[in-house]
Amino acid sequence: MSTRKEIRWVTRLALVLLLSSLPSIGYADWEDVISQFRPRITVQEDYTNNLNLTSTGKVEDFITTVSPGLTLFATDRREPRYGVDLNYQLGFVSFAHNSQDNYVSHTGILNTWYTFDPKLTFRLSDYFIRSDEPLAAMVTGQAMPGTYSGTLGQPGVSYLGAPTGTYYLGTQPGAYYLGAQT
């Protein structure tokens, strides 16, 4: 991915985060606005003895993933009737012995909900993944030169039915739609 496209993508993300926080700015001081954001960082180490997922010529490697992220909770009331959560995570994946396979990924999650009454809630979630992972073609079975991206929307309705619990009706697709880009 070119630097120009990456800067444009990050600029758009920052604009969305800023615009989504504007309603809370009108009613709160800056301390309250800053408290809506939750930064985090995750470090993960994996070992594989079959990096290329083949039956012969197995390659082993250690894979380190460093993932800084930021979550915006746009609703911070005791009993919210509606809300929006935005979540962004940047992934830096590094291979110890196969550095040509290093890549960067972006993951965005949008969760929204509206409660019609205390027992009935409508939810809508959307997941977005963008990655430069070179092994994606092996996993998906598709030829994918360069960057790929995918999105997955999930609408649903939940109903709190006493005494048996909560009922949920929604979609749970098993895979992302992946579109290759060069």
Q: Are 81 and 115 in contact (CB under 8 A)?
A: yes
Residue 22 lies in a domain: no
Task: Answer whether residue 141 shows pLDDT above 90.
Answer: no
Say whether pLDDT at 146 is over 80: no
Domain count, the chain: 1
**Domain range enclosing 106:** 37-180
* Predicted pLDDT of residue 30: 64
pTM: 0.63
In a domain, 110, yes or no: yes
Instruction: Give the SS3 label for residue 72.
Output: strand
Q: Identify the pLDDT of residue 113.
A: 85
pLDDT in tens, 92-114: 999 999 888 888 888 888 888 88
Closest of 40, 107, 106, 44 to residue 73, by C-alpha: 40
